[in-house]
Amino acid sequence: MELNTAAAVIRFATEVEEKSAQFYDDCAKRYSEVEETFLSFVRENKKNVTLVKRAYYGVISDALEACFSFKGLNVDEHFFETECDEKAALSDILKMSLEMENNIQDFYQRASALSESLMADLPRALKKVAEKRKERKHTLESLLDSVR
């Protein structure tokens, strides 16, 4: 399904953050080696929601193209799996996390590029979350290297 409106994009971003936070929270309970890192991701996800929503509510204007700015942003392309086998190896969990983060980073980057015609705060906030996701990927890659 294509997202068209700013409201739909913000809702999707919230769902992405909540879904991935739930994944990290569940995994933190099962893999003590990554507990601290994953719980920090959970906290960061909450901050991301606040950041994006604050930007959206701060700049939304009836005069800008909020309903028509996100043409081509397809939710189906940003679907990610969070279901995993309870006995999965930590390396598999980390690979899954990396794939998920790739997907989420891509969503934020595209949403940021599409919203450039809106006021600056929103694309900036989306870009900032994309950058955070990129940093998170580095962390995950390091963890993966350490368990291989």
- Interface ranges with another protein (CB under 8 A): 1, 3-8, 11, 57-69, 71, 117
> Cα–Cα–Cα angle for 30, 145, 93, nearest 5°?
30
Nearer to another protein, 65 or 99 (CB): 65
Nearer to another protein, 38 or 123 (CB): 123
Nearer to another protein, 22 or 117 (CB): 117
State in angstroms the smallest separation of the CB of 71 from another protein. 7
CA-to-CA dists, residue 70 to 14, 38, 53, 140, 145, angstroms: 16, 31, 16, 30, 37
State in angstroms the smallest separation of the CB of 4 from another protein. 6
Cα–Cα distance for residue pair 101/98, rounded to 1 Å: 5
State in angstroms the smallest separation of the CB of 103 from another protein. 21
Give me Rg for the CA atoms of the chain: 16
State in angstroms the smallest separation of the CB of 5 from another protein. 5
Nearer to another protein, 6 or 27 (CB): 6
Cα–Cα distance for residue pair 123/49, rounded to 1 Å: 14
Bridge-partner residues for 120, per DSSP?
A: none
